[in-house]
Amino acid sequence: MVTERVVAAMKRILVVFTGGTIGSKASGDSINVHGDGAYALLEAYEGSTAARTDVRLETIQPLNLLSENMTPGDWSVLAASVRRQTAGSAYDGILVTHGSDTLAYTAAMMGYLFADIAIPLVLTASNYPIADARSNGLRNFSSAIDFIAGAALPGVFVVYENAAGISQVYLGTRIMQCEPFTDQFRSPYDLVYGHMEDRRFRWHEDARNPLPDTLRPVHSPLSRGGDASDIDSAIVYVKPYPGLDYSLFTWTDRRPKAILHDLHHSGTACGLEDGAYSLPAFIKRCAVDGIDVYIAPVKNASDAMYASSHELIGAGAVMLAGMSVEAALTKLMLAYGACGSDGEQSKSKSKEQLHRLVRDTNWYYEIH
């Protein structure tokens, strides 16, 4: 059921509450989602000087959880709720409030699922509960509304204030995990899409940033009309470090369909020929077990690479250049989900077709 809060009967914005710190309250030394936390945010906005008189906010709350507890099933509920409410509607934009812990993954997931959306779909969060004087949540919420109402750009975005107090605008597939000690989000090359200034969107001019007037809804094999019911979670993410012992990875009754292996900043990981610490040996073992191994992030596949990187590719790893690990992981979940959930490769898609689908960075705004 849609609850309506009327500010002015001009632009309609659907606010989708999912919980997170922005919808939480503190009690003693504990912070948790609260039944009326989301609406406390709305009331704070309506009572602030930032409240616009040219928008009408309508709200739904399909989820109410701390984002660290987000699962693929929750993504499915969120995507279905958004698609159901926007199908044939006259909304001018969607605003999703979300916890900061996993916002980058949800933004990438929504970026792929809603690549075909013709209105702005914006995610935002808060560093502290709204009642905390240190919170940026109300400012993030206000800036997200200003972006939707003013810029009116199609696609999936994140609006979040940085340490300098600037409300930055990210493309959904280009935001990286929030850093633990600074509570700051990052993006590849530290390149954001733009920022809000005097309540207006300012595009950041860069050859890697598409011009605002070139943004278009994109139909892709991964958008599937926003259907997230077949997200495949049989993807394992591995981060390298000195002493990572691959002999500890064993499969019993259930094995992953694919492994996303992170890389050091120079696009490398342990390239020893054999032994417990050898990633090439592990990649070859995975191939015998029918498990695909992908490596990311890599800036540019055409750049000169270290010998260890060539060892990984030679062993059979699939390089995912031009995308963050957050984007790569969610993209793999969608791609393997599209190939069926019976544990076998779909007869309609060869492995090479699957790898090409995941590697392709040309159809939606990943970093080039």
Task: Taking residues 254-270, report their average pLDDT.
Answer: 95
Task: Write the pLDDT tens digit of every residue in 174-215.
Answer: 999 999 999 899 999 999 999 999 999 999 999 999 999 999
Spatial distance between the Cα atoms of 266 and 189, rounded to a whole number of angstroms? 13
CA nearest to 27, candidates 39, 37, 38, 18: 37
The CATH fold of domain 3-214:
Rossmann fold (3.40.50)
Task: Report the distance separating Cα 41 and Cα 24, nearest Å.
Answer: 9
Q: What is the reported pLDDT for 341?
A: 45
Mean pLDDT over each residue of the chain, to the nearest integer: 88
pLDDT at 26 over 70: no
- pLDDT above 90: percentage of residues in the chain: 68
**pLDDT (0 to 100) of residue 250:** 94
Residue 13 pLDDT greater than 50, yes or no? yes
Q: Put the strands of the sheet holding 155-161 in their side by side order.
A: 3-5, 55-60, 11-17, 93-97, 120-124, 155-161, 167-171, 194-197, 200-203
Radius of gyration of the chain (CA): 21
Q: For the chain, which residues make up each domain, given as ranges?
A: 3-214, 231-359
CATH entry, 231-359, from 3.30.2400.10, 3.40.50.1110, 3.40.710.10, 3.40.50.40: 3.40.50.40
Q: Quick one: how far is CA 70 from the chain centroid? A: 12
Question: Can you tell me the mean pLDDT for 284-300?
Answer: 93
User: Which pair of tokens denotes residue 59?
Assistant: 């709200």
Q: What is the pLDDT of residues 77-110, one digit of tens each?
A: 999 999 988 877 789 999 999 999 999 999 999 9
Asked if residue 342 has pLDDT above 80, the reply is no
Average pLDDT rounded to a whole number, residues 34-49:
81
Fold equal for 3-214 and 231-359: yes
337 vs 168, residue with greater confidence: 168
Greater confidence, 251 or 352? 251
Backbone angles phi, psi at 20, to 5 degrees: 75, 180
- pLDDT score at 343: 43
